[in-house]
Amino acid sequence: MSDSIIRQQHHQCREKLSDALSALGGEASDQQVDMLSELVIQAMTGPYRLYHCLQHALDVAGDESPREILIGLFHDLVQQQIEPHMPINLAEFVAPHVREFLPAHLGGKPTLRLNADFNDDPTANMVGIIFGFSPGQELPLLAQTNEFLSALAAVKSLEPVLPKPELLRLAAGIEATIAFRRLGSQPNEQLLTRIGLASELSGFGLAADAQRDCVRTAVKVANRDVAGFAFDDIGAFLDDTWRLMGETNHELLLSTNYTVRGYRTAVQKMTGFLGSLDPRVVFRQFDDEPDSESYQDLVTHAGLNLEVARLYLGTKLVTIAFLEALSLRVSTDASVAMIMGDLSSEARLADLSLERHLPKPYRRIEPVGAAQTTTLQLIEVGRASVSDFDLRHSPLATIFLHHLGFDGLDRALSKSQEFLANLAGARSDSDRVRAGQEYIASFDPELSRIITVAIQKVFELRTKRFMTSG
């Protein structure tokens, strides 16, 4: 990202924040606005923030209302699965109310608990009521906790400058961005009840009609937070998916020699997540926000995009699992570059990349329906933009998809899951190699030959270049 774009984002953040505070009756000095904007910018520009970044916060904030702007800017301050440590400026507002406890047993993960005197602070108490947390409670791992800590940091940092009712609205808006609730859990009604309780018990009063309006605003921002699921451009949606993979699988970002296993694990986790996601839990509706026609359109788009993502990721998982099975012959921790060659454009032009030695698919499939047609186009042509750790297009997956067909993809995916389960349960390298051989044997020998010959050519050219260098 260029310096000019970064400066523009920082300027937008400060201007949006300043205007929103003024519109909501906030009394903030220039110094306070600078401190608050720096808090957001520092939190949202960490080294692993590929998706949950400052641009995402600006997009979710929008330009329509000051309340939506505040919710959008502050809703993702904390992302524990992305960043191992919270920025000091952010921790200042969270640490007085939350403690980290190390488990008594070895190998256990640290847990977060609310302090026993959590309710002694009226503002913190209000946030706890909105999220349904009580003093001394152990916070759930990741689920809800990111949003809770973000809301706590937001209201405590804005407490000196915002009226109390606006702090309640902010906390409720951030709570609504907890995504993908269980179907039938009625998160809107639950939030409305908690807003009423917080309004009554904590002194952050909102009238009944304002409470419903608070939920409508929260739902509007929450839907904007997951707007990518309804993108008309599925390639852009998959771009977001790849950014999320990079955020939560740091090996893919920290090394040019990330492993086949590391990449496969990232694809496998995302395949499992999106494959199990019901489009009806992605977007929310409360009262007339959004109207029924618009809401149904969002759900329909999400359903199509999730189906394409399932097919696309399934193809990628079958392909990388096959490469992992092959790589076990030489190493249990082989890098992608070792098997596929360097992914740089220079290496591809020098014939040192696997794709340069892959023939055109010797079988061609005819997709049926929008999901299959879009999936094939994405596999062959590519996602909307280039990833730092992957090719935009998928030449190897193209061969697999044309060979298997969409009818055979589910069977191959089932075999892949069986292989990966055997791999996870293997006790020795020989068991892993055996599991890999069984997986390879489940494919057409001609497909295996094409891939192994291409890999062999990459190895031979590398060896030749090494022997003739200097």
Report the largest interatomic distance among the alpha carbons of the chain, rounded to a whole angstrom. 80
In a shared domain, residues 206 and 260? no
In a shared domain, residues 162 and 29? yes
- Spatial separation of the C-alpha atoms in residues 265 and 388, rounded to whole Å: 17
What average pLDDT score do residues 106-115 get?
A: 80
pLDDT confidence tier of residue 107, bands split at 50, 70 and 90: low
In a shared domain, residues 217 and 309? no
What average pLDDT score do residues 348-374 get?
A: 81
Give the model's pLDDT for residue 361.
Answer: 80
In a shared domain, residues 324 and 194? no
In a shared domain, residues 167 and 289? no
In a shared domain, residues 272 and 190? no
Kindly report, residue by residue over 271-288, the tens digit of the pLDDT: 999 999 999 999 999 999
Strand-pair partners of 289: 286
Strands (E) across 19-177 are located at 98-101, 111-114
Specify whether the CB–CB gap between 270 and 245 falls below 8 A.
yes
Place of tokens 């191992």: 84
Give the model's pLDDT for residue 356.
Answer: 82
Domain finish residue from 225, 247, 279: 225
Give the model's pLDDT for residue 196.
Answer: 96
pLDDT value at 223 more than 90: yes
Q: Which stretch of 19-23, 203-207, 318-322, 428-432 has the lowest confidence by average pLDDT?
A: 203-207
Give the model's pLDDT for residue 2.
Answer: 85
Specify whether the CB–CB gap between 358 and 399 falls below 8 A.
yes
In a shared domain, residues 196 and 337? no
The 3 state secondary structure assigned to 153-170 is HHHHHHCCCCCHHHHHHH
What average pLDDT score do residues 207-233 get?
A: 96
Residue span of the structural domain in which 250 resides: 230-468
Specify whether the CB–CB gap between 247 and 384 falls below 8 A.
no
Domain finish residue from 175, 198, 225: 225
pLDDT confidence tier of residue 255, bands split at 50, 70 and 90: low
Give the model's pLDDT for residue 106.
Answer: 56
pTM over 0.75: yes
- Spatial separation of the C-alpha atoms in residues 120 and 395, rounded to whole Å: 60
In a shared domain, residues 294 and 410? yes
Give the number of domains in the chain.
Answer: 2
Phi, psi of 19 (to 5 degrees): -65, -40
Specify whether the CB–CB gap between 265 and 248 falls below 8 A.
no
In a shared domain, residues 217 and 242? no
pLDDT value at 155 more than 90: yes
Give the model's pLDDT for residue 219.
Answer: 98
Give the model's pLDDT for residue 469.
Answer: 62
- Spatial separation of the C-alpha atoms in residues 470 and 467, rounded to whole Å: 9
In a shared domain, residues 248 and 141? no
pLDDT value at 88 more than 60: yes
